[in-house]
A and B are shown apart, each in its own frame.
Chain A
Amino acid sequence: MILRLIERAGVFLVSLVVSSVLVFAFMAVLPGDPARVALGVNASDEAVAELRRQFGLDRPLPTQYFDWLGGLLRGDFGTSYVSKAAIGPQVFDRLQVTLWLVVAGMIIALLVAVPAGTVMAARHRQVSGLALSALSQVGVAVPAFLAGILLIVVFAVKLGWLPANGWTPPAQDPAMFLKQLILPALSLGLVQGAVLTRYVRSAVLEVLREDYLRTARAKGLRPFQALWKHGLRNAAVPVVTVLGLQLATLLIGAVVVERVFVIPGLGSLLLDGVSNRDLLLVQDVVMVLVMAVLLVNFLVDLLYVALDPRLRTA
């Protein structure tokens, strides 16, 4: 158990370091000069060179990398090339927005997947189960941004029930916040829900074949009662793992959905940063995302052990 934890923690840290090198390398080979983008079309070459010096872009790449990494370890995210403002607070503000979106998307995904997956498994030989299966296949194939565009056309533009885009902090106006959250969260949640449904289905099917469930049925419980009392907890183990893995997909999906719904989250910040060649900001945002995904996978490992007593002896 302890060994397993140490091993997991090691993997987590090594992955972080490797990602940081990769992120930095990607930014270094990206075409385009941040200083020239910042100064615009009429800037003289001297002015561009001066700004490169100010940004520290004229230093050797390893020096730049270790400077950046050292800053991150001290919690100093540096200063944006473009806005000249500290990056840390910006990333933190935007992260809150994106987290709302991811959490709401996750909740919707679960609300869709747990009942639908269970029904699909329990009735996998009946029409209702097959129909749900077909529906989830469609859901898996639809990208989140397309779902978003369709939802906007139907519920905002045609019916006028909900705003087409925008964002209000929950503290400022909770009702407006919820109204604006529904469509983007649905775009994320429905698509993710469809993916998750298939995992729930196979996990429940797995459980249905177990001896202890047959015992429960023999005691006179109806299939769903038996599942509810004995099966779902065991089915939850693989589902939680997938949920963790899906967080990465959700974060990526959120980046795109933020664009469609004009939400000032981490995704919008990232895309703006890339197009303005605000390299330091992009590096920071990507690292925050990578860190979030790795951390969740690490936690899933721990949960796994907590949920399934059979793993504790491993």
Chain B
Amino acid sequence: MKSSFPTRAVAFLASAALLALTACSAGSGTSSGSSPGGDQNLSIGLVAEPASLDFTTTDGAAIPQALLGNVYETLVKQDDSGKIVPSLAKSWTVSPDRKTYTFDLADNAKFTNDKQFTANDAVFSINRVKTAWTTSLKAAMEVVSSAKALSPTQLQVTLTKPSNDWLFRMTTRIGAMFSESGVSALATAPIGTGPFKFSKWNRGDSIVLTRNDNYWSTKPFFQQITLKYFKDATALNNALLTGTINVIGTVQAPEALSQFTSNDKYQVIEGTTNGEVLLSFNNARPVMASLETRQAIRMAIDHKALLDTCWAGRGKLIGSMVPPTDPWYEDLTGVAPFDLAKAKSMLQASGAAGKTLRLRLPTLPYATSCGQVVKSQLEQAGLKVQIDQLEFPAAWLTTVFKNADYDMSIVAHVEPRDLGAVFNPKYYTRYNDPTLQGYLAAADAGDEAAQTDNMKKAARRLSEQAAGDWLFLLPNLMVADKNVKGLPTNAITENFDLSKLAR
């Protein structure tokens, strides 16, 4: 208390002024648009940071997006057009009874802990799904009765019943190959055979991957790739505009694209995803039990106008639960074409006209904006629609998903080949249709031709029965600096393949 206040105040203010000055001089020399950290580095902006790095016990799309195919590899993978192609397995054969798969493995793949990848690791990884995984995805491995190593480079997997779906699921995270001696710290230090090594995780900010210089196949161009996580679309856009990042991995607000399309410093990439934006019906509700009502709802919606209004016209109209990258895709938008007059009279006939439907929306951008359009279009056809906003994920999961306390909702189902998972009596759609289940079982057990044929029937059946309404397919939208090469057109896998990127 000896020094008088003014003296202390002066000292304090002087030091503060000094701080402000140094800060200003430090800030004056920045140039925007330079690539962060030189030509060997790339920075990608994404949303939704992983909660941990262990997708064997933690759910969520963010972990495989960052690690699968980059740090961990699978035996087989999907290419950009949706075909299953070799990865750690150079080739494979299926027995005539379609129950035994024999894989020939790469003999020069190494884990980043310097251990050789062998058939034993593959056996270990497949068995570990059943024993140590806790996420619900592990169910896809239940069809495996045994996995054994015939030699260090030959793996034989026997199934309890023929299943085309199993090989497809092996392209997803449950097919990831782990080292027997590399699973002690999955949540913080993942070890795989991939083109990149996990380097650092700045929680709340970014994950840094560095090039694996011992990679067994074609080495990637970039020495270091940073995945930066943002909370909202504006922050993402600003980061690209100011050169903090080089790529927006997923555009969150298509209406903001114009600032990039009109600027020749950037490229915009548009393709498809697996994300069907579903206007889901609770098929267990008396009002929804009527086929006529469900079909009328589909015909009351002008999908083209809806897409233009609420998602800037970006996306694809599909008419059922199949994206264009699946082999059994057909354009089914003609099954229930927009016809307001017909929809009105059908709703009168079914007795639904004038009734109030509760449209319970998750707090997600597309759901909020498209929900308003759905409401106004259905009200024109004679229904009343009451919108409830439910916080996503927590409140929506409990109310709509678990308790099925809703009439209609809107959410994008982004998992690949999820038609059977979404439309069954146990799921929140409460859709009980033995005919559909028959097609799905036949598709899984048959050969490729039978699979395609039965899946087509299943997709058409859903559309004709109006089990829900498919508003549109979410687009894969990316924006990047002009000079970034190798970005995928379609985003149809769980992972963001960084190995093909170059400058």
Binding site for B on A (CB under 8 A): 30-34, 36-45, 47, 82-85, 90, 93-94, 104, 107-108, 110-111, 114, 149, 152, 156-157, 160-167, 175, 178-179, 181-182, 228-229, 232-233, 236, 259-262, 264-265, 268-269, 271-272, 275-277, 306-307
Contact = CB atoms under 8 A, between A and B. Distances in A.
Interface string B454-472: 0000000000000000000
A41 B61 CA distance: 11
A90 B31 CA distance: 33
Given A32-B394, A108-B20, A262-B230, A85 B242 contact: no
A263 to B, nearest CB: 8
Contacts of A104: 19
Given A111-B16, A178-B23, A232-B6, A165 B235 contact: yes
Contacts of A271: 231
Contacts of A232: 5-6, 9
A167 B33 CA distance: 18
B397 A41 contact: yes
B58 A161 contact: no
A277 B60 CA distance: 14
A152 B238 contact: yes
B244 A163 contact: yes
B481 to A, nearest CB: 15
Interface in B49-108: 49, 51-52, 54, 57-60
Contacts of A165: 230, 235, 238-239, 244
Contact of A84 (B187, B230, B234): B187
B134 A33 contact: no
B17 interface: yes
B229 to A, nearest CB: 8
Contact of B22 (A161, A178, A307): A178
5 contacts: A107-B16, A107-B19, A160-B31, A178-B27, A306-B1
B312 interface: no
Given A164-B244, A182-B23, A236 B16 contact: no
Given A94-B204, A272-B49, A276-B393, 13 more contacts: A31-B391, A31-B398, A36-B394, A39-B135, A162-B27, A165-B235, A165-B238, A178-B26, A181-B23, A232-B9, A265-B204, A275-B394, A306-B1
B435 interface: no
Interface residues of B, number: 59
A85 B4 contact: no
Label chain A's interface by main secondary structure: helix
A147 to B, nearest CB: 15
Nearest to B139: A42
B30 A47 contact: no
Contact of B60 (A40, A84, A93): A40
Given A82-B52, A232-B9, A164 B242 contact: yes
A82 B62 CA distance: 13
A175 B26 contact: yes
A213 B254 CA distance: 63
Contact of B204 (A107, A161, A182, A269): A269
B202 interface: yes
Given A111-B20, A178-B22, A264 B51 contact: no
B482 interface: no
Contacts, number: 168
A85 B52 contact: yes
Contact of B6 (A163, A233, A259, A269): A233
Contact of A47 (B4, B22, B136, B242): B136
A190 to B, nearest CB: 13
A34 B12 CA distance: 47
Given A33-B394, A229-B6, A262-B231, A157 B241 contact: yes
A39 B391 CA distance: 17
Nearest to B245: A166
Contact of B397 (A32, A164, A272): A32
A93 B137 CA distance: 33
A160 B202 CA distance: 26
B165 interface: no
A222 to B, nearest CB: 15
B17 A111 contact: yes
Interface string B149-168: 00000000000000000000
**Which of B16, B33, B137: most chain A Cβ within 10 A?**
B16
Given A42-B136, A262-B235, A167 B205 contact: yes
A233 B9 CA distance: 9
Contacts of A260: 235
A306 B4 CA distance: 12
Given A111-B13, A160-B33, A40 B135 contact: yes
A44 B58 CA distance: 14
A262 B54 CA distance: 24
Contact of B5 (A160, A233, A259): A233
A138 B54 CA distance: 49
B202 A264 contact: yes
A30 B398 CA distance: 12
B260 interface: no
B51 A157 contact: no
A126 B409 CA distance: 61
A204 to B, nearest CB: 13
